[in-house]
């Protein structure tokens, strides 16, 4: 009898609680607009099992079905995808401060010394100070000019290496990635570490950095189910910790070496970024300061944020040019006129290469390296497009879909650099003020490395195109499919066969 009484009391309590919960949520719903529409998923897993192997296509397809803003559960994370320029404006301009936190992945915390960097830091005073140092001190024209020879050395080395392979197939992606990585390394610390020690450090770093970049792109269960993160089911975090031990030893070596030699002479065009950071650290009366940990975290941002993005963009640019011989010959013609076949490309030629700039803009329209931007996270509940976005929601901005939208772009799937030369609605810059063209993002979290990225994209592409004619290997066809990931890689590697263009063979030496 007692047992029956307990069961009845328990059941009535559950029923009452359910009714109260229903009334409360109904009232709340009536008070707040609903969540954005979106597909239903499975309990616990949400929509994860249905994403397929092309996330960007899936988000675009769902956009067509549910509208310009959709909500979707991935694991136990609520995500919102923005698919229209007017809603992008609401997020990155009108309510920028609410949408300016990051959703940091588990490996991100390890790789950035506990989010002590710029990319993954929350929006706070520490982030503001770091970003100020990065943009105003490291990425200004004077600092970038002062490190020109550090970039040039590596680019000329790469051209020489390609020249040694004339007539043979060259895998273009790895060629550009390795060159870009060496450029970054040289710019970070190459001005003061040379000789045998420089070579040893470079060798060790080149061995570990690509593995680290790859690990960043690996889908991780811990990110979809944060309550399971402590288990590190796939061992991704542990693997990152192992790589970071190696990386940290390298960083410590180069910092200590620089500290010993800080007042030494600086060769023309060889002032590296570490020298700038250490000068800031040593300034007694400076308003800005930076810790050793933050210096190392900035190194990581530069390597992870800057290397793969640039390499991916350039591989797509080369693929599009090889696929469009008319565009390739226009780019070559411009280089012949501006640089001349009896000279090599220098950074000072860049402002005159207007067609090449349009080629890069068009490449980044069709193939934005980070197609959903780096996910934002909301710091408070807000309303976008008439829908509620709760606090802590992960927000993706579907740049790839917007940049291919036929209601905005004329024949959007065609590679047509000219659209960035004509005075039409389509002509726009990288600064994030045109909400239909955002390859570097927008608002206060817009890419902080843009000035260097613009130089490197132009300088590398111009150097490889001016020095060589590129053809597909015999019997090869171009596959322009995309691979799944947080960055938009080519599905199959691009292989080109170079032949020399310059009139003097000494220019390759």
Binding residues for ligand HEM (CB under 6 A): 118-119, 131, 301-302, 305-306, 309-310, 313, 369-370, 373-374, 439-442, 445-449, 452-453, 457
In the complex, minimum distance from the CB of residue 178 to ligand HEM, in angstroms, rounded to a whole number: 16
In the complex, minimum distance from the CB of residue 414 to ligand HEM, in angstroms, rounded to a whole number: 21
389 forms bridges with which residues in the sheet? Answer: 382
Q: Which is nearer to ligand HEM, 119 or 344 (CB)?
A: 119
Q: Which is nearer to ligand HEM, 300 or 507 (CB)?
A: 300
CA distance 309 to 315: 10
In the complex, minimum distance from the CB of residue 169 to ligand HEM, in angstroms, rounded to a whole number: 25
In the complex, minimum distance from the CB of residue 292 to ligand HEM, in angstroms, rounded to a whole number: 18
Place of tokens 């310059």: 502
Q: Which is nearer to ligand HEM, 332 or 365 (CB)?
A: 365
CA distance 366 to 383: 30
CA distance 230 to 228: 6
| Other residues' Cβ atoms within 10 Å of the Cβ of residue 405 | 16
Q: Which is nearer to ligand HEM, 154 or 508 (CB)?
A: 154
Residue 39 falls in which region: left (phi positive, over 0), alpha (psi -120 to 50) or beta? beta
Q: What's CA 208's distance to the chain center, in Å?
A: 19
In the complex, minimum distance from the CB of residue 143 to ligand HEM, in angstroms, rounded to a whole number: 11
Q: Which two tokens stand for residue 350?
A: 């860049």
Contact residues for 371 (Cβ-Cβ < 8 A; gap 6+) = 56, 398, 399, 400, 487, 488
Contact residues for 2 (Cβ-Cβ < 8 A; gap 6+) = none
3-state percent breakdown (helix, strand, coil) of the chain, nearest 5: 55, 10, 35
Q: Which is nearer to ligand HEM, 317 or 497 (CB)?
A: 317
In the complex, minimum distance from the CB of residue 258 to ligand HEM, in angstroms, rounded to a whole number: 19
Kindly report the three-state secondary structure assignment for every residue of 299-341: HHHHHHHHHHHHHHHHHHHHHHHHHCHHHHHHHHHHHHHHCCC
Cβ atoms 285, 435 nearer than 8 A: no
In the complex, minimum distance from the CB of residue 19 to ligand HEM, in angstroms, rounded to a whole number: 43
In the complex, minimum distance from the CB of residue 397 to ligand HEM, in angstroms, rounded to a whole number: 7
In the complex, minimum distance from the CB of residue 93 to ligand HEM, in angstroms, rounded to a whole number: 11
Q: Which is nearer to ligand HEM, 488 or 497 (CB)?
A: 488
Q: Which is nearer to ligand HEM, 447 or 497 (CB)?
A: 447
Q: What is the dihedral of CA 331, 171, 58, 447, to 10 degrees?
A: -60
Q: Could you write out the DSSP letters of every residue in 225-288?
A: -GGGGGG-TT-HHHHHHHHHHHHHHHHHHHHHHHHHTTTS---TT---HHHHHHHHHH-SS-S-
Q: Which is nearer to ligand HEM, 487 or 507 (CB)?
A: 487
Place of tokens 């994403």: 51
Q: Which is nearer to ligand HEM, 46 or 441 (CB)?
A: 441
CA distance 491 to 484: 8
Q: Which is nearer to ligand HEM, 182 or 225 (CB)?
A: 182
In the complex, minimum distance from the CB of residue 372 to ligand HEM, in angstroms, rounded to a whole number: 9
Q: Which is nearer to ligand HEM, 115 or 502 (CB)?
A: 115
In the complex, minimum distance from the CB of residue 484 to ligand HEM, in angstroms, rounded to a whole number: 18
CA distance 69 to 384: 9
Q: What's CA 150's distance to the chain center, in Å?
A: 23
396 forms bridges with which residues in the sheet? Answer: 81
């Amino acid at each position: 009898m007692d047992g029956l009484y307990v069961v009845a009391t328990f059941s009535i309590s559950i029923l009452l609680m359910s009714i109260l919960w229903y009334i409360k949520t109904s009232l709340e719903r009536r008070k707040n607009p609903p969540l954005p529409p979106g597909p239903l998923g499975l309990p616990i897993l949400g929509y994860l099992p249905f994403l397929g192997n092309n996330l960007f296509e899936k988000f675009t397809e769902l956009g067509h079905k549910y509208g310009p803003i959709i909500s979707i559960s991935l694991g136990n994370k609520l995500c919102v995808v923005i698919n229209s320029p007017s809603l992008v404006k609401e997020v990155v301009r009108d309510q920028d401060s609410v949408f300016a936190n990051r959703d940091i992945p588990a490996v991100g915390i390890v790789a950035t010394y506990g989010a002590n960097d710029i990319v993954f830091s929350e929006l706070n005073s520490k982030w503001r100070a770091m970003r100020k140092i990065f943009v105003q001190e490291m990425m200004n024209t004077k600092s970038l000019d002062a490190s020109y020879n550090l970039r040039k050395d590596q680019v000329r080395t790469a051209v020489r290496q390609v020249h040694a392979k004339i007539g043979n197939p060259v895998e273009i992606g790895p060629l550009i990635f390795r060159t870009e990585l060496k450029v970054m390394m040289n710019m970070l610390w190459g001005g003061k570490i040379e000789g045998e020690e420089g070579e040893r450090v470079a060798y060790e770093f080149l061995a570990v950095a690509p593995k680290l970049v790859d690990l960043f792109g690996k889908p991780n269960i811990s990110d979809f189910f944060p309550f399971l993160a402590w288990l590190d089911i796939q061992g991704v975090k542990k693997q990152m910790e192992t790589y970071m031990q190696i990386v940290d030893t390298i960083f410590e070596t180069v910092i200590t070496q620089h500290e010993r030699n800080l007042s030494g002479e600086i060769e023309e065009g060889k002032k590296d970024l570490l020298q700038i950071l250490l000068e800031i650290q040593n300034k007694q009366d400076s308003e800005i300061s930076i810790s050793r940990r933050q210096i190392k975290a900035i190194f990581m941002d530069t390597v992870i944020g800057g290397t793969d993005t640039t390499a991916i963009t350039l591989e797509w640019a080369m693929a599009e040019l090889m696929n469009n011989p008319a565009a390739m010959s226009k780019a070559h013609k411009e280089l012949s006129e501006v640089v001349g076949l009896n000279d090599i490309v220098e950074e000072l030629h860049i402002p005159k290469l207007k067609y090449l700039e349009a080629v890069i803009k068009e490449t980044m329209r069709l193939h934005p390296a980070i197609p959903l931007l780096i996910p934002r996270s909301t710091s408070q509940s807000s309303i976008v497009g008439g829908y509620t976005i709760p606090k802590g929601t992960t927000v993706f901005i579907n740049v790839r879909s917007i940049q291919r939208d036929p209601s905005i772009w004329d024949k959007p799937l065609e590679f047509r650099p000219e659209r960035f030369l004509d005075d039409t609605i389509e002509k726009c810059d990288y600064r994030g003020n045109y909400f239909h063209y955002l390859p570097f993002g927008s608002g206060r979290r817009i890419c902080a490395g843009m000035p260097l990225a613009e130089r490197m994209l132009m300088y590398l592409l111009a150097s490889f195109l001016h020095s060589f004619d590129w053809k597909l290997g015999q019997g090869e066809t171009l596959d322009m499919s995309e691979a799944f990931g947080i960055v938009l890689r080519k599905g199959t590697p691009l292989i080109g066969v170079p032949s020399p263009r310059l009139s003097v063979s000494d220019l390759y030496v």
